[in-house]
Amino acid sequence: MFTINREKRNLVIMWFANFMVAASATMVLPYLSLYIDTFGQYSDEYVQRWSGFVFGITFVTAFFISPLWGRFGDKYGYKPILLITGFGIAVSIFLMGFVNSTLELFYLRMAMGAVTGFIPTSLAFISKQTPKEIAGKTLATLQMGTVSGGLFGPLIGGILADLFGFQYTFIFTSIAIALAASMVAIGIKEINPGNKDQTAEKFSRKEVFSHLVHNRLLLTVMFISLLVQTANFSVQPLLALYVDELSAASSVAFLAGLAFSATGFGNLIATRKWGKLGDSIGHERVIMILLALCCLLFIPQALADSLWQLILFRFLYGIAVGGVIPCVTAYIRLVSPLSMQGEVLGYNVSFRFLGNVIGPAMGGIVSGYLGISSVFYITSALFLLAFTILWWNIKKDEQAAETSY
């Protein structure tokens, strides 16, 4: 009974910690492009291009670091990683409030990548303590904390930026993240950290890599993570500029936050239901359904000629995309041995972070040459590509299973 209570307590604490981290992080993300514009008299093309670079550079560093964090978590437990990433992000964001140039912001975002990963680590932590049969529902419940934070963060950040300026918003953000890390330090009790689990089989890095290479559908799902993040993040750094094009209002930061929050509200409504559906019919099949919906719902965002239309379709898109991360994590939980899950999830996070790099850079370059609306069409095509790859691999696995009997 004690273990069950401890598992539930860990889930509740991580839910609130993820809420605070996601809310705080999204307080600043919607207006990075506007923040860059305050450093000097720059052209629109310069701001759009550097918005993508500044947004994505954090994940270049994180791409290389994530598998190491995952292996460290398998061996020593996840709580130390949560503390390092939580307090590390807080310090990085605090310093961003005092930069005076685009390059200074760029270098700070790059350094922040080494400690990025609080929310993905929390997913791995909760996944490891959760039975496979309810992994989808439990991870979706945790994801709702992230989604809820993402829902309110842009609105709060937009209000703070309009009222107090960007510098104070960075300071408030860093304080909130430090509080979330403190909650973990005080309240989390890790269950069976890797170094105390003497019965678990240990795997070398070569064996983990072999597990990935020889499991085609697992590797495909992880590649889907890359494509989805590329698609999802291609437009995020540009959203404030797109909102500015669609609205003549002066409070652009608040309206950009509203457009961000519309996606989060859609996530909040449907995420747990997608996780439960994945537990019932298979997470890979639910992912395929979600990719098709995302493909269809991104095109109308490019055709929007008013802010309310953009917000409506961002909301509908949020309903679909909210189930992808918990379903991918639950699938990895199902097909990977317990004592290598952290490292496998670390590789998956690296795929996601690589998408976070490619997406903003691609969006910034494409929008600079063809306009922001063109990024939505390319994003829709990426979701279609992801759907096609997953469908083909599921079909191949089904054919292989039939011939084996």
User: What pLDDT score was predicted for residue 87?
Assistant: 92
Mean pLDDT of 301-317: 83
Residue 79: CB atoms within 10 Å:
18
- The H-assigned helical ranges of 38-117 are 44-76, 79-96, 102-112
Structural tokens at position 223: 């590649």
Mean pLDDT of all residues in 252-271: 74
More confident residue, 337 or 86: 86
Q: Is residue 197 part of a domain?
A: no
Does 405 fall in a domain?
A: no
pTM (two decimals): 0.66
The pLDDT of residue 266: 81
Q: Measure the CA angle with vertex 227, ends 241 and 22; round to 5°.
A: 60
Would you say how long the chain is, in residues?
405
Task: Provide the domain limits for residue 51.
Answer: 2-189+203-399
Residue 340 scores a pLDDT above 50:
yes
pLDDT tens across 15-27, in order?
888 888 887 777 7
pLDDT digits (tens, 9 = 90+) for 122-136: 877 887 777 766 766
CATH code of 257's domain: 1.20.1250.20
Whether 384 shows a pLDDT value over 60: the answer reads yes
Write the pLDDT tens digit of every residue in 157-176: 777 777 777 778 888 888 98
CA 51/CA 62 separation, integer angstroms: 18
* Domain-located, residue 194: no
400: pLDDT confidence band, cut at 50, 70 and 90?
low
Q: Is the pLDDT of residue 37 over 60?
A: yes
Position 250 scores a pLDDT of 59
| 65-74, 260-269, 325-334: least confidently modelled range | 65-74
How far apart CA 119 and CA 78 sit, in angstroms, is 12
pLDDT at 198 over 60: no
pLDDT at 302 over 50: yes
* Overall domain count for the chain: 1
| pLDDT (0 to 100) of residue 197 | 46
The pLDDT of residue 24 is: 77
Q: Would you say residue 115 lies in a domain?
A: yes
What pLDDT does residue 196 have?
45
pLDDT of residue 403: 66
Q: Is the pLDDT of residue 200 over 70?
A: no
In a domain, 274, yes or no: yes
Mean pLDDT of the chain: 78
Residue 3 pLDDT > 60: no
The average pLDDT across 347-354 equals 78
Residue 279 included in any domain: yes
CB contact at 8 A, 383 and 298: yes
Q: Is the confidence at residue 313, as pLDDT, over 60?
A: yes
Give the burial string for 208-236 (b: 16+ CB within 10 Å, else e). beebbeeeeebbbbbbbbbbbbbbbbbbb
Tokens linked to 134:
């309810």
Does 194 score more than 60 pLDDT? Answer: no
pLDDT band of residue 405 (cuts 50, 70, 90) is low
Any domain includes 161: yes
pLDDT of res. 292? 92
C-alpha distances in angstroms, 104 versus 100, 101, 171?
7, 5, 17
Residue 233 makes CB contacts below 8 A (sequence gap 6+) with 55, 56, 355, 356, 359, 360, 363
Distance CA 92, CA 104 (A): 12
Q: How confident is residue 79, by pLDDT bands cut at 50, 70 and 90?
A: confident
